[in-house]
């Protein structure tokens, strides 16, 4: 689903009135219970529909073989920064200073490090690094609505339906990456989501199956360590392991499937014993100087964790700072209008994006990591009476960097009001084809729906965006 089930009648209206809190990346209650003989079955992969880690590994072994990825790989990892709510293109990356006041808004454009490109005055760090970024100003969002489904799946057929079947079963790009590429390092998850609300801001595997759902990275932090009182030598004692399983099998008829369970539990043990997953999620292992550089706020902490996950071998990370954070209708709603709401957020975004991209570059990871910044749609051309902008699906802007993307360019253009596409119309399918190509996945390949029906990864007349390399 794409919205909290607690607001079935008017989720959008209540969303503007409700609060949202960020769960810090400190360890929560352990999924591994100290002292329990069944502790290994409680090493749950949060966000995987209640699957235990051994069950997850069993599904991996019995799943259909992954498709061949014979394409050239430009991106080993993707970080999608999701601006939940719909960021205003007219006040960020596509300002119209010559338009009437009610259209151009309150912010001024500033020059960037690339001649001829201007962006909002409240994003000076992006302006100074514009040679690293490509701006797309002509993304068609008419297939989208207030949901992560369409653009996280990069599929115009994947939409919010409000019938508990959101997305039409089409998988997200992260889930496609998890299936056809898998993690870059064995034992790591292929797809991780960093969001306060997995329900509202993250779209998962659809009909591709639970095996490819994202790991809830916020809840996973601190939950892959060794439980108190349990040592490595104890865990590798095969006789003790079998005795624990004998107890679990009481009153259960033995079957070939059960006889294989030992194998999956050992794989789960190996994942925990290696320590790689626990280390990846522990931002406290970063030097204090680095943690301070990213900042202690939600966006900074998630950005730092995203970089650590890339280093550890995760292929696809989707991060969102807060549900609906970029939904600036006006001063009467929770997130405020353009001045009271958007203005104080822009420096945080500006710092977070540039810190992440700079850090990836300094560590030699930017050339193999695709960074995307986008939301579900844009904002309306005319400022409202309450100093905000309404939803606007005809066009939105987005950013791309890394993984061979030529920086310092603007792709597409809007009309003088900033509300309609004037040239180089692109859509969700074009974005998906680009991401899949970068990952080495054939964008014109298929996945198999339940029942055996081959379904295109990219729907409609779409293809990789040539300007992005």
Render pLDDT for 446-463 as a digit per residue (tens, 0 to 9): 999 888 889 999 988 999
- Mean pLDDT across 404-417: 97
Q: Could you tell me whether strands 133-139 and 409-411 are parallel, antiparallel, or unpaired per DSSP bridges? A: parallel
Same domain, 423 and 307: yes
Same domain, 116 and 84: yes
Q: Report the alpha-carbon distance of residue 429 to residue 464 in Å, rounded.
A: 8
| Domain count within the chain | 2
Same domain, 193 and 253: no
What is residue 285's predicted lDDT score, i.e. its pLDDT? 92
Same domain, 170 and 253: no
Say whether pLDDT at 157 is over 50.
yes
For residues 441 and 175, the answer to whether their CB atoms sit within 8 Å is no
How many residues comprise the chain?
469
Band of pLDDT at residue 219, cut at 50, 70 and 90: confident
Same domain, 124 and 218: yes
Quick one: tokens of 152?
A: 């996280």
Q: Report the alpha-carbon distance of residue 350 to residue 121 in Å, rounded.
A: 11
Enclosing H/E stretch for 110? strand 109-111
Confirm whether 156 is domain-assigned: yes
Q: Report the alpha-carbon distance of residue 284 to residue 299 in Å, rounded.
A: 16
Band of pLDDT at residue 167, cut at 50, 70 and 90: confident
Mean model confidence pLDDT for the chain: 81
Q: Quickly count: other Cβ atoms within 10 Å of residue 124's Cβ.
A: 16
Q: Could you tell me whether strands 413-414 and 409-411 are parallel, antiparallel, or unpaired per DSSP bridges? A: unpaired
Q: Report the alpha-carbon distance of residue 202 to residue 401 in Å, rounded.
A: 21
Q: Report the alpha-carbon distance of residue 81 to residue 387 in Å, rounded.
A: 26
Confirm whether 1 is domain-assigned: no
Say whether pLDDT at 51 is over 60.
no
Confirm whether 6 is domain-assigned: no
pTM of the predicted model as reported, rounded to 2 decimal places: 0.80
Confirm whether 204 is domain-assigned: yes
What is residue 322's predicted lDDT score, i.e. its pLDDT? 87
Say whether pLDDT at 38 is over 70.
no
Same domain, 117 and 154: yes
CA angle 308, 48, 1 (to 5 degrees): 105
Band of pLDDT at residue 292, cut at 50, 70 and 90: very high
For residues 356 and 119, the answer to whether their CB atoms sit within 8 Å is no
Confirm whether 130 is domain-assigned: yes
Confirm whether 19 is domain-assigned: no
Say whether pLDDT at 231 is over 90.
no
Cβ burial 214-245 (10 Å sphere, 16+ → b, else e): bbbbbbbbbbbbbbeebeeeebeeeeebeebb
Say whether pLDDT at 223 is over 80.
no
Among residues 135, 150, 75, 76, the alpha carbon closest in space to that of 429 is found at 150
> Which residues lie across from 369 on neighbouring strands?
77
Band of pLDDT at residue 211, cut at 50, 70 and 90: confident
CA angle 69, 71, 74 (to 5 degrees): 110
Q: Residue 146: is it exposed, middle or buried by C-beta count within 10 angstroms (0-12/13-18/19+)?
A: buried
Band of pLDDT at residue 276, cut at 50, 70 and 90: confident
For residues 199 and 216, the answer to whether their CB atoms sit within 8 Å is no
Q: Report the alpha-carbon distance of residue 228 to residue 270 in Å, rounded.
A: 17
Band of pLDDT at residue 159, cut at 50, 70 and 90: confident
Band of pLDDT at residue 67, cut at 50, 70 and 90: very low
Same domain, 172 and 203: yes
> Which residues lie across from 448 on neighbouring strands?
454
Same domain, 214 and 267: no
Find the domain containing 45 and state its range: 27-63+229-274
Say whether pLDDT at 243 is over 80.
no
> Which residues lie across from 120 on neighbouring strands?
109
For residues 386 and 112, the answer to whether their CB atoms sit within 8 Å is no
Same domain, 241 and 214: no
Confirm whether 396 is domain-assigned: yes
- Mean pLDDT across 423-445: 97
Say whether pLDDT at 131 is over 50.
yes
Quick one: tokens of 85?
A: 């709510």
What is residue 408's predicted lDDT score, i.e. its pLDDT? 98
Compute φ and ψ for 414, nearest 5 degrees.
Answer: -110, 170
Confirm whether 15 is domain-assigned: no
231 against 187, higher pLDDT: 187
What is residue 325's predicted lDDT score, i.e. its pLDDT? 92
What is residue 11's predicted lDDT score, i.e. its pLDDT? 44
What is residue 229's predicted lDDT score, i.e. its pLDDT? 52
Give the pLDDT confidence of 181-190 residue by residue, as tens digits.
999 998 888 9
Which pairs with CB-CB distance under 8 Å and at least 24 residues apart come from 10-19?
A: 12/146, 15/323, 15/324, 15/327, 15/334, 16/324, 16/327, 16/329, 16/333, 16/334, 16/335, 17/333, 17/334, 18/334, 19/334
Q: Is 82 helix (H, G, I), strand (E, B) or coil?
A: strand
Interhelix angle for 173-180 vs 428-439, to 10°? 30
Same domain, 303 and 391: yes
Quick one: tokens of 241?
A: 């392991």
CATH no. for residue 144? 3.40.720.10
What is residue 46's predicted lDDT score, i.e. its pLDDT? 35
Same domain, 376 and 420: yes
Say whether pLDDT at 358 is over 60.
yes
Q: Report the alpha-carbon distance of residue 396 to residue 426 in Å, rounded.
A: 10
What is residue 187's predicted lDDT score, i.e. its pLDDT? 84
Give the pLDDT confidence of 77-116 residue by residue, as tens digits.
999 999 999 999 999 999 999 999 999 999 999 999 999 9
Among residues 65, 63, 61, the alpha carbon closest in space to that of 262 is found at 61
Enclosing H/E stretch for 378? strand 378-379
Q: Report the alpha-carbon distance of residue 103 to residue 413 in Å, rounded.
A: 16
Same domain, 175 and 258: no
């Amino acid at each position: 689903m794409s919205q909290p089930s607690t607001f079935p009648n008017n989720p959008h209206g209540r969303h503007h009135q409700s609060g949202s809190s960020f769960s810090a990346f400190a360890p929560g209650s352990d999924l591994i219970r100290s002292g329990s003989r069944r502790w290994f079955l409680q090493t749950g992969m949060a966000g995987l529909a209640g699957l235990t880690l051994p069950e997850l590994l069993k599904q991996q072994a019995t799943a259909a073989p992954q498709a061949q990825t014979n394409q050239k790989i430009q991106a080993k990892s993707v970080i999608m920064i999701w601006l939940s709510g719909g960021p205003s293109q007219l006040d960020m990356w596509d300002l119209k200073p010559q338009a009437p006041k009610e259209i151009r808004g309150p912010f001024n454009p500033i020059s960037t490090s690339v001649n001829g490109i201007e962006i909002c005055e409240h994003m000076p760090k992006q302006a100074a690094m514009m040679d690293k970024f490509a701006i797309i100003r002509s993304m068609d969002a008419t297939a989208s609505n207030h949901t992560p489904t369409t653009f996280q799946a990069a599929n115009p057929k994947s939409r919010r339906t409000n019938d508990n079947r959101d997305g039409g079963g089409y998988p997200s790009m992260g889930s496609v990456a998890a299936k056809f590429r898998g993690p870059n390092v064995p034992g790591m998850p292929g797809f991780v989501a960093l969001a306060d609300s997995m329900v509202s801001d993250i779209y998962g595997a659809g009909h591709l199956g639970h095996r490819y759902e994202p790991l809830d990275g916020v809840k996973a932090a601190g939950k892959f360590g060794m439980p108190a009182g349990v040592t490595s030598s104890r865990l590798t004692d095969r006789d003790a392991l079998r005795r624990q399983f004998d107890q679990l099998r009481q009153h259960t008829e033995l079957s070939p499937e059960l006889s294989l369970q030992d194998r999956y539990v050992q794989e789960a043990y190996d994942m925990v014993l290696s320590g790689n997953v626990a280390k990846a999620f522990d931002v406290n292992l970063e030097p204090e100087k680095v943690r301070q550089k990213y900042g202690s706020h939600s966006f900074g902490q998630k950005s730092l964790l995203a970089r650590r996950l890339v280093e550890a071998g995760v292929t696809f990370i989707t991060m969102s700072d807060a549900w609906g954070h970029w939904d600036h209708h006006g001063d009467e709603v929770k997130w405020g209008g353009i001045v009271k709401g958007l203005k104080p957020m822009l420096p945080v975004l500006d710092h977070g994006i540039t810190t992440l991209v700079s850090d990836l570059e300094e560590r030699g990871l930017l050339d193999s990591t695709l960074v995307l910044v986008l939301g579900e749609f844009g904002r309306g051309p005319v400022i409202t009476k309450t100093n905000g902008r309404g939803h606007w699906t005809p066009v939105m802007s987005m950013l791309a960097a890394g993984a061979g993307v030529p920086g310092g360019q603007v792709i597409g253009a809007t009309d003088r009001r900033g509300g309609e596409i004037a040239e180089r119309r692109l859509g969700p399918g074009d974005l998906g084809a680009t991401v899949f190509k970068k990952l080495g996945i054939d964008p014109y390949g298929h996945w198999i729906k339940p029942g055996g029906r081959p379904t295109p990864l990219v729907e409609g007349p779409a293809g990789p965006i040539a300007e992005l390399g």
